[in-house]
Amino acid sequence: MPAPSSAPASTKRRFYLRWPFALAVAAVIGYGVAVAMHWDDRGLLWVKERFESSAERIESVWLPDYLVDIDAKPLPGMDDDEASDLSFNPQTRTLFAVMGKNPFLVELTLDGDVLRKIPLVGWENPEGLAVLENGLIAIVDERNHDLTLVKVDASTSTLNHDDFPSYDLGKSVKSNKGFEAIAWDPMRQRLIIGEERPPRLFTWSTDGRGPLKGDKQLLPSDELDLRNLSALAVDPRTGHLLVLSADSNMLLELDEKGEQVSFMTLLGAFNGLGSRVPRAEGVTMDDQGNLYMVSEPALFYRFKKH
């Protein structure tokens, strides 16, 4: 039986010529993805984390020590509502989440069980909320480019936009990637407001009990090397800022100087997650240091420090 013929020499030459080119293309693509995802920056921060002392870790949130204990719990009947943000209420020890597609607030237990829904009448696309003092809640509407301060108590059944004071946030660099994150910073008596893309931070002074003072101010930060900014939270114990990015699959901790301290990767197998958080849109932290997150379409997560 004749031996099988070998490939023609010209075919071999073409293969050997194309192989280095394919490797080069793959390397360029890989580098582009790494830059886009800021893996180089995360790598440097990961190395920096290894050298942090025990005292420095104790004085921070320290996200690497968190493990999920409620993983992707569905919020019943809300698949079409798009969970957009989450905030802890220390007075009631409950959570408030905002739904952006069909605007309403939902109050949740710390286990992610639904207590009530409060329709938001007159809002177009509420994307961020922050619980302040004495039942005051700030709601950011990305489409209306405004911030509204509403009052919520145990008897509240609906909220009308026109019944409450609103503040113009101004146009953003990209109209469909505007202001959508907000957090209350009680230590510094201010709201922190986040613009989605390009990620930028602003502050607005308030005592948390009444109207905002002055105008919003740009908060310089060279550490927001994220693809987008989805949500913000302030740790009430340390005052450190948590910055959530859905596109980067990342939660980043910044200290009082705006410098990176630690991070959490929202991919499967990291921090105990069974699978990737589909699109993380809201984050908050309670006064015990427990971390809560919501993802589109309507998934609830809780992380505890170990």
53-305 carries CATH number 2.120.10.30: yes
Q: Which two tokens stand for residue 26?
A: 């793959």
Contact 274, 71 (CB under 8 A): yes
CB 193 within 8 A of CB 147: yes
| Radius of gyration of the CA atoms of the chain, in A | 23
Q: Which pLDDT belongs to residue 191?
A: 98
pTM for the complete prediction?
0.84
Locate the domains of the chain by residue range. Answer: 9-37, 53-305
Sign of CA dihedral 133, 145, 231, 203: negative
Q: DSSP assignment, residue 162?
A: G
**In tens digits, what is the pLDDT along the chain, a chain of 306 residues?**
555 555 566 555 554 545 555 444 444 444 444 444 445 555 655 565 555 666 676 789 999 999 999 999 999 999 899 999 999 999 999 999 999 999 999 999 999 999 999 999 999 999 999 999 999 999 999 999 999 999 999 999 999 999 999 999 998 766 556 899 999 999 999 999 999 999 999 999 999 999 999 999 999 888 888 999 999 999 999 999 999 999 999 999 999 999 999 999 999 999 999 999 999 999 999 999 999 999 999 999 999 999
